[in-house]
Structures are given as C-alpha cells and as structure tokens.
Amino acid sequence: MSSVAKSARQSAAVLLSLSALLAASAIGATSASAAPANADDAQAPAGWERVDTELMNELLVEDGAAPLSASSATVEELPWAIESMNTGLFVAAELNYAQPNTGLLRARSDWFNGGWEQYAINFDEVSETITITNKANGLNVATERNFTGASNGLLRARSEGVGSWERYVLYYHEVNDTFAFQSVVNGLFVATERNYTGQLQNALRARSDWINGSWEQFYLW
C-alpha cells in the first residue's frame, strides 16, 4: 500500500474506531483502582495532551459521533488496531508463546489480519484511563511490573479482571496524529523494543519516563 493511501486510510480509521469503541464502552465503565501519583501528576511532553473525558468527547464530536454521556445502545463495536510508529508494524498478542510470555504484545504484523492484532478499548470516565482487551483471547492487557531485567514492564494480554496493572493513560498528539500509552501501575510510557532480539523483538514495554520519540508513539486504526 502506498504511503499516501495508507495515510488516508489511517486518518479516516482513527476516530471511526475510537468513536465506536469508546462511546460503546462508556455505559459499562467501572471504577478504577487508584493511580499512583506519578501517573496522575505527570506533565505531558510538548505537543502532547492527556486524553481526558473532555478531549475524548471533542474527538467524538469532531467525527460526528455521540459524546460519552449520550446513549450508545446502537453503536457498533469495531476492532481496533495499534501500529508502532517506529517499525510500521501492527501489534499482535503472541498467544502461542509459552509461559511466562503467553499473550506478549509485540509489533510484528504487516497488517491487522485477525483477532491477534485486534483489540477492544474501554474508557473509564471516573479515572479517565483506558483498558485494552485482545479480541482473540478476550483478556485484558497488563503491565508485568514484577518481571525482572529486560522483561520488566512487558505488556501481556492475560488478565480477566481490571486493576492498576491493566489501566493506561492515553495521550494524543494532534500534529503527528499519534497516541502514547502511560501505564498506571508504574507511571512509565509504553515503548516498542526494536533492539531486542528473538521472541522479544519489538515487544511492547512500559519503561520510558517520557515520550522521547517514535519508540513511544503509535497510530490507531
């Protein structure tokens, strides 16, 4: 696909996916676990804005969708995909990996071909955080805070419940039309580990203090 066609499709798809998924999820929003101070109080880097309820509603209204507070009984849930800006690859949940890496999120697919690369998103209006659910296994993405070494902070689709490990703060950059994810449990931003090798190559890991560049930026489809 040409870069022009790709850009056009992406621009059309981003808010469409967000409109359906986030508006549909507002009715079922649940109370969140308390976020640590470093997640709540962090200043957004230049050009970045935390997606709070007000901004989310602005994005929805700009796309012609109902705001979160409106009834969304007729909204159709659409699959949602994440593309790493750094690699140009889509994020898949590695469901065939053995433990402890089962469900590892990794930017490795040329396209979102099925449930492994598709996610549902829920926006919680109380905490103004999101949860991410893999469509293939129905499990929520968690930040593996207790993993050690180079695996500390890896993202895995492995949880049935929702707590601080499964919650993320969403940031948006209007000029770049990109998004960033900050893990609530450790206050760090998710990066694509492009320099990792083997099974962990391009793994998603909450490990950056800041949105430093393309490693921490993602397109939403």
Q: How far apart are CA 150 and CA 120, in angstroms?
A: 28
Closest CA to 142 of 23, 33, 15: 33
Q: What is the CATH number of the domain that holds 133?
A: 2.80.10.50
Is 127 in contact with 32 (CB distance < 8 Å)? yes
Q: How far apart are CA 182 and CA 34, in angstroms?
A: 15
Provide the number of structural domains found in the chain: 1
Report the pLDDT value the prediction gives residue 21, as an integer from 0 to 100. 47
**Stretch (H or E) spanning 9:** helix 3-25
Report the pLDDT value the prediction gives residue 15, as an integer from 0 to 100. 43
**Which two tokens mark 211?**
């949105």
Report the pLDDT value the prediction gives residue 2, as an integer from 0 to 100. 30
Report the pLDDT value the prediction gives residue 143, as an integer from 0 to 100. 98
Report the pLDDT value the prediction gives residue 9, as an integer from 0 to 100. 34
Regarding beta strands 218-220 and 82-84, do their DSSP bridges make them parallel or antiparallel, or are they unpaired? antiparallel
Report the pLDDT value the prediction gives residue 69, as an integer from 0 to 100. 67
Q: How far is CA 135 from the centre of its chain?
A: 13
Q: How far is CA 40 from the centre of its chain?
A: 17
For 66, how many CA atoms within 13 A lie in the half-sphere containing its CB?
A: 16
Report the pLDDT value the prediction gives residue 63, as an integer from 0 to 100. 66
Closest CA to 131 of 99, 93, 95, 170: 170
β-partners of residue 183 are 168
**Which residues in the chain land under pLDDT 70?**
1-44, 63-65, 69-79
Range of the domain at 175: 3-220
Q: How far apart are CA 7 and CA 204, in angstroms?
A: 23
Report the pLDDT value the prediction gives residue 42, as an integer from 0 to 100. 52
Task: Give the Cβ contact number of residue 37 at 10 Å.
Answer: 9
